[in-house]
Amino acid sequence: MNRITAAIVTFFAVLTVASVAFAQAEGGAAGTGAIAIASALAIGLGAIGATLAQGRAAAAALEGIARNPSAQPAVFTPMLLGLALMESIALFAFLIAFFLQGKI
């Protein structure tokens, strides 16, 4: 029930923000509100997604090492590679948000 309530609240929050995002003041550049929201979403979703993925990857690797300590060398290197790739996704999201902010 909590997921349904959260989905409904999120849906209506997006609907309320959308009208403000596309409103244009006199003499303002068209779409600046949409660019600002896109920038915030890019960095927010990139950070949340990368954080959740890194937490799950580290937990799974540590659980595997705890069950079989002799497998530590075989698990540790791919885990570090995966964590680096996940972090690069967060950095790309930050870079996209930075470039979008420059368009305002």
The fold for domain 31-104 equals: F1FO ATP Synthase (1.20.20)
Say what the pTM is. Answer: 0.57
* Cβ 48 vs Cβ 89: under 8 Å: no
State phi, psi for 26 to the nearest 5 degrees.
-65, 130
> Would you say residue 7 has pLDDT above 80?
no
* Cβ 56 vs Cβ 10: under 8 Å: no
How far apart, in whole angstroms, are the C-alpha atoms of residue 101 and residue 3? Answer: 32
Tokens of 16: 């309320």
Amino acid 66: pLDDT: 92
Query: What would the pLDDT profile of 19-74 be if each residue is shown by its tens digit?
Result: 555 555 555 555 667 777 777 777 888 788 888 888 999 999 999 999 999 988 88
> Would you say residue 17 has pLDDT above 80?
no
The arithmetic mean of pLDDT across residues 67-89, rounded, is: 89
> Would you say residue 6 has pLDDT above 90?
no
